[in-house]
Amino acid sequence: MKTKIKICGIKREDEVDILNRFPVSYAGFIFAKSKRQVTIEKCNELSSKLRQDIKRVGVFVNEPLDSLLKIITSCHLDVVQLHGDETVDYIKEIPIKVWKTIPIKDKDSLLRVQIYEDNVDGILFETYHKSLKGGTGETFDWSLLRVSKNIAHSYERILAGGLNANNIREAIEVVEPDVLDLNSGLEVEGYKTFEKIEELFKELEL
């Protein structure tokens, strides 16, 4: 299995230019309130310059359904990534691929997978934070996922939280994710850099 790479929080054209130079599978555009938040117009402007094979992921937290559906259509999204308290009924209304986030605090956090696993295309495991919905920049105890990686499942496993070139190989070895989701670990002063992304892919080639 070859782990795919998603780079999230894209908000500038020069970041798109960098992504286009590497074997990135997904680019993430954050519509939830965040320092990396983009508008529909900005997402379209940036994604129009993306390499054609890079899929567009929209990141949301408790977005009203009608607004979500409008953004999916307006921005030609390929995947919706949900970080809020979205219900299964809400998810069933989404016409494209869905990744649902499960914040991991302890082994009991994994029980929430059962709620969503038959209704989504992917489960994204990220670090639990009492006030933040994603974007913590911190890792969690990946060993909690050791058992679940050996259980047959129909969904993609996405790992997020504090990933960078220094821990990427360990993350793959321990979790065996289908997708790794990186953001702040590839930034300098809030922006993705060529050097950080180049370092990442050099590690992946080793």
Residue indicated by tokens 């009608």? 66
What is the C-alpha separation between 9 and 58, in angstroms, rounded? 10
Phi first, then psi, for residue 91 (nearest 5°) are -60, -35
**167-200 confidence digits (pLDDT tens):** 999 999 999 999 999 999 999 999 999 999 999 9
- What's the average model confidence in pLDDT over 45-49? 97
Residue indicated by tokens 């567009």? 56
What is the C-alpha separation between 9 and 29, in angstroms, rounded? 5
Which pLDDT does position 22 carry in this prediction? 97
Count of other CB atoms within 10 angstroms of residue 56: 21
Burial class (CB in 10 A: 0-12, 13-18, 19+), 188: exposed
Do 183 and 28 touch, CB atoms closer than 8 A? Answer: yes
**111-124 confidence digits (pLDDT tens):** 899 999 999 999 99
Q: At CA 74, angle to CA 71 and CA 80, rounded to 5?
A: 40
Bridge partners of 7? Answer: 27, 182
Which pLDDT does position 147 carry in this prediction? 60
For residue 174, how many C-alpha atoms fall within 13 Å in the half-sphere facing its CB? Answer: 14
Q: How far apart are the two ends of the chain, measured CA to CA in Å?
A: 15
- 190 or 16, greater pLDDT: 16
Which domains are assigned to the chain? 4-205 (3.20.20.70)
- What's the average model confidence in pLDDT over 120-132? 83
Which pLDDT does position 146 carry in this prediction? 75
